[in-house]
Structure 1
């Protein structure tokens, strides 16, 4: 935190500390006024009183995120995160119903306190702000390359050169540069930003919109195994071509296949396309699945399937 930011932060704490705290009974009274919502001005006054009396809750919740806002590469300031927390507090003030729990709207004799409910809303708001500004998406295949580069570094030590990496991984210099840039991005383990009350985790609160459904991913994983088994039923030359083209670590082109098997590039493409179509049909019939899911299995097993219609 810079000097100016630290000063603003401390001044803000002094300012909000002037607001008087209120009793749980008063919180319940304000909650009922807000829930009834009969007079707009009265509701707004109740919201303001409830929020002002609990602004220090945001500072309390901020401590749980201190390690995520102390890095120079972070894109969100302390006061920005406080502002996000205040938004969560305002949402809590408007939605809190003293007669019910926040989760299932079932009436309880001992409903949760406003501070408990508000802290959950505040932390959720802060997590979302951090997720948007602090964390970035990195393509999954980059992690595979990072592992390979790490293995090369362990094997060759200081003797490892860029030329060796480029040759071993069969990538271009610009690709290597991009991989290094993505590797330098500071990411934190998802468990590091879990709920601090132990009830839920970061990925429960901020889901990845691009993530596969677990059930679908498990089914695709099982389908990939069967596809590789079905591959052995194809003619030997077709098996070899598909294996070289899609399954081997080192990229194989149609030109490479043409030289190895002594046929034209177009003929190699036709053989691979026919073999993959046969695999798809066999999987559809054997497991009684739709064409779309069979194609999804193919695409998850074999990269670059432009040749498959």
Structure 2
């Protein structure tokens, strides 16, 4: 909405008028002929007279300089047939033509709002970018349940790969490389997009009309029947609680008892009774008694 900032000296009232104009521009589509079918709509917009270069420039100047909404309406209406023409080229994606035209009309209104007649180009040349941008965004969001193209390279592939494949037929390694070079992407990205565009959406569960004896859905084979998630969580929590309780109980022992329990039961490199007897300069039997008493205290503390 660069018009709002075209003149930084605009007063608050003038800026308010600019905002109102922007809002009204979005409502221009209400003037589009309404009809009961897409065929009638196409016929209606095709009957609207096209503008000459001089007429278009005069209207564009009125809109650009004075914010004339009637001029904007005429510019939009006279180019609706071009939106229909562009939208028809996206029919292969299986989306309703009426929705494609509607999105293209939004792009046309954005283009009219931003068109600068002093640049010296026709509106149709300027608007085609905005019309296609809106249609592209709609196709990417609605062609699959999961969006297939998110990066700039993927978007470029999505709208060019089908056309390239029609020309090249089935992809070989050499053909993949050729497409990658033509579109300026990696061969890996070409193969990934090829796989995505070849796949189809699948319902996770069977529908009411599916025969369970002959139809399959991911819900039937993705479940891992070798494990029980509920029991895994229960056992994990039990083991954690037991471990926490054990180490808390060990801290209640004296230092020598702690050391004996840890080296005899919790260490990877376990010590023998005799090793500990030599370390503490007592008999192995005495170490065994200390160990036994410590285990009793731990058992009592963990009950």
Higher relative CO (Cα under 8 Å, sequence separation at least 6) belongs to 1
What is the TM-score when the length of structure 2 is the normalising length? 0.37
What is the TM-score when the length of structure 1 is the normalising length? 0.37
